[in-house]
Amino acid sequence: MSGSTARFQAIQAVTNYTPISAPLNFSETPGSELFGTNVFNMKVMKDRLPKNIFKSVMKTIESGEPLGADIADTVAAAMKDWAIEKGATHYAHVFYPLTGLTAEKHDSFLAPDGVGGAVNEFSGSALSQGEPDASSFPSGGIRATFEARGYTAWDVTSPAYILENPNGTTLVIPTAFFSWTGEALDKKTPLLRSMKALNIQAQRVLKLFGHKNIPLVTASAGPEQEYFLIDRNFFFARPDLISAGRTLFGAMPPKGQEFCDQYFGAIPDRVLACMMDTERELFKLGVPVKTRHNEVAPSQYEIAPIYENANVAADHQQLLMLMLKKVAGKYGMECLLHEKPFAGVNGSGKHLNWSLGNAVQGNLLEPGKTPHENMQFLVFCAAVIRAVHKHSTLLRAVVAHAGNDHRLGANEAPPAIISIFLGEQLGDVFDQIKKSGTAASSKQAGFMTVGVDTLPPLPKDAGDRNRTSPFAFTGNKFEFRAVGSSQSLSGPLVALNTIMTESLDYIATELEKATGGDQAKLAGAVQVLLKSIINDHGAVVFNGDGYSEEWHAEAAKRGLPNNKQTIDALPAITDPAVISMMEKYKVLTPREVESREEIYFEQYVLTINLEARLTHEIAKTIIYPAAVRYQGELAAAAANCKAAGVEFDFSLLSKLSSLIKTLNEKIAILEKLNDDAGGGGHGVANPKKASERCAKQVKPAMQAVRAVVDELETIVADDHWPLPTYQEMLFIK
Ligand code: ADP
Ligand code: MG
């Protein structure tokens, strides 16, 4: 299919767009009625479980106590009945392997009844535990292939739900996934462990502040997901998008995002219809999506849910990505979740808003109106500052992967230097603490006057926004902006929870020592502690422009690391300090940490090698033939001109011919590198070493091919150009 055919079909798809199925009727079934209808949530459990069983389940969810084995059978029976009423024929344990994707294994409820018929069965043990073959998931050397057993275990704290399909529905049970030696092969297990560790240390600190009734402290997460939607006709005409999720070629379109006419712009009809449908599907699944808008780049959008318990939020985020992709197809579009599907326009991130708290003490990062008087808040905030400063390289590592390399450090996303933005008010409070040991005041925000009488005076936020900081305090939570759009939330959450755990442990220990249990000594002890923390770790606080040259120089002076690429950033995962921290708080064993480093390097290598093979194939079998055809056309025109006795301008033909020659040279270089790397799919012998080669040799070789191809695109006749262009993909919508 040539680019122009795809363009023609996409234009038709846009102009002939009519809603695929009957339009959704929001007044017939309002969102409020729809919300959670496909979730085995508390309300359903309350209605369907015997009182004592319901109480046990709630206790597990609310206080983290283990669930008795006898309870599972009763819950399973209720779940099965509920699911079958909703049309379910199968149940599936869903889990989150270290690829960052979602995996599911389905089993039918049906079992032979022994007399020629069949009955629906679902026991407590089938609910609690599954046994998918683990050998095809990366384990980073944890699991030898002869011990292929993997287990999934029901995560009671994340609700089961129904996934719909026109041909029936499936009961889906969120699970943790581990090897038969008990080692975590997934993203959920360490997240659950880190939540537990965080609770223990947060409780210690809260006790020091005199609280008596302290329910389970949990981390909360609210992710803002950016994504692109493009017409499917284009998608299927681009092998790079199909296989790599991003364009490996593409000249800049005449118009990009420079007019700022996209951000918060009116949403095209077909796109809006797709968003509404996605949201409705997510409502049914109990995912509390709230915000939608156009993003900065053309055809880029954002969707954000209301924050939830971090473990549930992470599961919901995986579901959200799944639904975005699924529903887009229904509307003739493709959802691109890659961090950088198009060079030259904004990439996509997933801002991770994070906080911690519980129902009684509330959000522990809520400063109140006068933070300088809010000792407890200052202590939790100082814990974050210390944690991020001590472990900035870990935070950088957990967002490091091939896709995010196109984003971090480029002038659009936060820089690769991890720093904290506190805003004016908080920054000032900590400055006072640093200078004089105490803070006497909090700058107040006051009101804005807009100069229009009919507008009410608007209360001003105490701090402005800062878009350039990778880790920003935004009122009552921190926003980790370096997370990539395609990533699971779990890795970043595990890192945040664990470094916070360590900081709170340190703080609790210091305060316990200083006060000896005497509440009267607390204020004095906190003062000393805050001052020492801000002295030792204040270097990580930066309120200025993170994109500026000066900041890079200043950060270097402050000793803040700047790990630019995945290969520089990933090794921090196995820093001795990280390994011992993860072990101390029982989040990951040393072997589990090491296996993760290996897997992430392997993923990196697999990604770059795949892109390199694709670059080679597309350049050689799609671009080169098109260029030569055009060359032939020009040459024929030259011959015709000569025969007709008119002058022919050879400049274009010469330029084209020289580019074709360069293209062949660059292809040959890449081809050799690909041959040396061997084919894909056989695993990577030494991922860390191979990743160096990928970053230093393969990527530049790919880039060299791309540069020639992108130049060719600007001179080859449009009707010869075989790939949909940026202009087409980004603007025909
Ligand atoms: P902005 O980033 O524009 O300030 P919002 O204030 O709407 O946007 O918040 C963005 C995300 O942060 C939303 O998903 C929201 O639910 C989430 N959020 C708000 N409060 C918290 C909190 N205490 N913990 C975690 N996430 C939160
Ligand atoms: Mg935000």
Find out whether 229 and 324 touch, Cβ atoms under 8 Å: no
For ligand 1, atom 19, which residue shows the shortest CA distance? 307
Closest ligand by atom to 305 CA: 1
pLDDT tens digit sequence for 581-624: 999 999 999 999 999 999 999 999 999 999 999 999 999 999 99
Nearest to 356 by CA among 501, 211, 157: 501
CA 475 to ligand 1 centroid distance, Å: 9
Atom of ligand 1 at shortest range from CA of 353 = 26
Nearest to 396 by CA among 198, 565, 643, 626: 565
Q: What DSSP string runs through 378-405?
A: HHHHHHHHHHHHHTHHHHHHTT-STTGG
Query: To which residue do tokens 């894909």 refer?
Result: 680
CA 631 to ligand 1 centroid distance, Å: 55
Low-confidence ranges of the chain (pLDDT < 70): 1-4, 19-23, 143-148, 411-412, 445-466, 679-683
Nearest to 302 by CA among 365, 261, 346: 346
Q: Which amino acid is at 480?
A: F
What would you report as the CA-atom Rg of the chain, rounded to the nearest whole angstrom? 28
Arithmetic mean of pLDDT over the chain: 91
Return the best residue to mutate from 307, 377, 480 for the ligand 1 pocket (most ligand atoms within 8 A of CB): 307
pLDDT of residue 1: 44
Find out whether 181 and 141 touch, Cβ atoms under 8 Å: no
For ligand 1, atom 17, which residue shows the shortest CA distance? 222
Phi, psi of 47 (to 5 degrees): -70, -35
Phi, psi of 358 (to 5 degrees): -150, -175
Q: Is the CB of 304 under 6 A from ligand 1?
A: yes
pLDDT of residue 277: 94
Query: To which residue do tokens 């009267």 refer?
Result: 520
Q: What is the dihedral of CA 197, 198, 204, 207, to 10 degrees?
A: -140
Nearest to 344 by CA among 722, 687, 70, 726: 726
For ligand 1, atom 4, which residue shows the shortest CA distance? 474
Nearest to 404 by CA among 274, 531, 492: 492
Find out whether 708 and 663 touch, Cβ atoms under 8 Å: yes
Instruction: Compute the distance between CA of residue 429 and CA of residue 125 in angstroms, rounded to an integer.
Output: 54
pLDDT of residue 458: 59
Instruction: Compute the distance between CA of residue 442 and CA of residue 462 in angstroms, rounded to an integer.
Output: 9
**What does the block give as tokens for 593?**
């940490």
Find out whether 217 and 357 touch, Cβ atoms under 8 Å: yes
Q: Is the CB of 222 under 6 A from ligand 1?
A: yes
Burial readout 1-22 (b: 16 or more C-beta within 10 A, e: otherwise): ebbbebbebbeebbeeeeeeee
Closest ligand by atom to 353 CA: 1
pLDDT of residue 89: 95
Most distant CA atoms of the chain, gap in Å: 104
Return the best residue to mutate from 477, 497, 500 for the ligand 1 pocket (most ligand atoms within 8 A of CB): 477
Find out whether 726 and 253 touch, Cβ atoms under 8 Å: yes
Strand partners, 448: 458
CA 539 to ligand 1 centroid distance, Å: 26
pLDDT of residue 117: 92
pLDDT of residue 146: 53
pLDDT tens digit sequence for 550-580: 999 999 999 999 999 999 999 999 999 999 9
